[in-house]
Amino acid sequence: MKIAILDDYFDTLRTLPCFAKLASHDVTVFNDHLQDTDALAERLKETEALVLIRERTRIHAALLEKLPKLKLISQRSVYPHIDIDACTRLGIVVSSNMHAGTPSYAAAELTWGLVLAAMRQIPQQAAALKAGVWQIGVGHTLRDKTLGIFGYGRIGSVVAGYGRAFGMTVLVWAREPSLAQARADGHQIAGSKEEFFAQSDVLSLHMRLVDATCGIVTRSDLARMKPGALLVNTSRAGLIEPGALVEALRAGRPGMAAIDVFDAEPLRDPSDPLLKMDNVVATPHIGYVSRDEYELQFSEIFDQIVAYAAGEPINVVNPAVTSHARR
C-alpha cells in the first residue's frame, strides 16, 4: 500500500523499532505541517493509507472528496479532527485504538512537570539567571496542599498518585463511575463542582473533549479559585469556556496557569495573550511526545494498517463503512 504519514516534525517515526512493521509498504513521511486543502490533496493524491499524529491535521469532507484512492485512516485516540460521516460516505475505513485501559504516562509526567515548574517558577527563574538576575521571587511547595483532579480516568488517576507521593490531599470531581474508583483509591470527593474549584490549590484537567465536556470549565468556575491557585491543562483547550482563562488570569483567580494545549494549534504567534503572561508556563502540546510513547502508539497504528492490508481491519470506528469500503 502507498502510505503517507503527516506531521512527523522531527522525522522520529522511521527511527522507531515499530516502523519495521511497514517494511513491505511504500511509505512517505512528511515533516512539515500543511492544512491548505488543495495543497494537501495534491500531496496525498496517491495515498491509500493515511497515518495521523493525533489532531495535528484536520481531515474534513472537502479534502476527503479530493482523495479518490484513500482507503484507510489509521491513528490512535479520539478523532474530533476527522469527518467520520464523510469517511463513511466515501468508503474510507477509520481505525483508531481508543486505549481506554492504557494510561499515557508521558502525559501524566508532563502534567507533573508543569505543576512543579509553575509552583516553583522554574522557567522564570532560569530565564532570569541567564539574564544576570539572581532570584526573581518566591515559589510554593506542594506538600499539605490540595490537588484537584477534574476527571478521574487513565491519566487523572496517575497524576493523583503523583500528588499523593508529594504529600498532597487529592480532591476529585468527575462522573459517578470515576468517583467510585477515586473513593476506592482513597481520595477525597468534592461535595460539589463549586467546592472543588474553591478548595483546590492545584487543579488539573483530565477529560476527553466531547460535546458534553466542551466548555465544561466556565468563567464562574475559574472565579471561585484561590488567588494563589494553579490551573493545569494538558488535556484539551476546548474544555475551558472560550476566552475565560485569559480573563481569569488577568483578574487574579487563579493566580497561575500551566498549559500544554491551545485553541488553535500549532500556535506560532508569540503575541498570544497566554504566551505573554508571566504567571503562565506553556509548552507546545508535548504531553504525548516522547520516544517511549511514540513506540507504544505507533506500534498500534501500524498494526491497524497491517490488519487492513490482510483484509481484517481492526479498531474500526465507522463500522457502517464495511458494506461499501473502497478496495
Catalytic residue numbers, as ranges: 236, 265, 285
Q: Which residues pair with 170 in a beta bridge?
A: 147
Residues linked to residue 140 through DSSP beta bridges, in sequence order: none
Count other Cβ atoms within 10 Å, centred on residue 144.
10
Q: How far apart are CA 234 and CA 265, in angstroms?
A: 14
CA dihedral 30, 34, 35, 36 (to 10 degrees): -120
Nearest Cα residue to 83 out of 45, 37, 46, 48: 37
Q: Show the cell assigned to 142.
A: 506542594
CA dist 158 and 166 (Å) reads 13
Instruction: Please name which of 289, 288, 308 lies closest in space to residue 73, comparing C-alpha atoms.
Output: 308
Helix (H) or strand (E) holding 39: helix 37-43
Q: Using CB atoms within 10 A of its CB, is residue 155 exposed (0-12), middle (13-18) or buried (19+)?
A: buried
For the chain, the residue count is: 327
- Alpha-carbon distance values, 29 to 7, 50, 54, 70, 107 (Å): 8, 10, 15, 16, 25
C-alpha cell at 219: 468563567
DSSP 205: E
Question: Does 242 sit behind a cis peptide bond, omega within 30 degrees of 0 on the bond before it?
Answer: no
Q: Indicate the residue type of 31.
A: N
Q: How many CB atoms lie within 10 A of CB 88?
A: 19
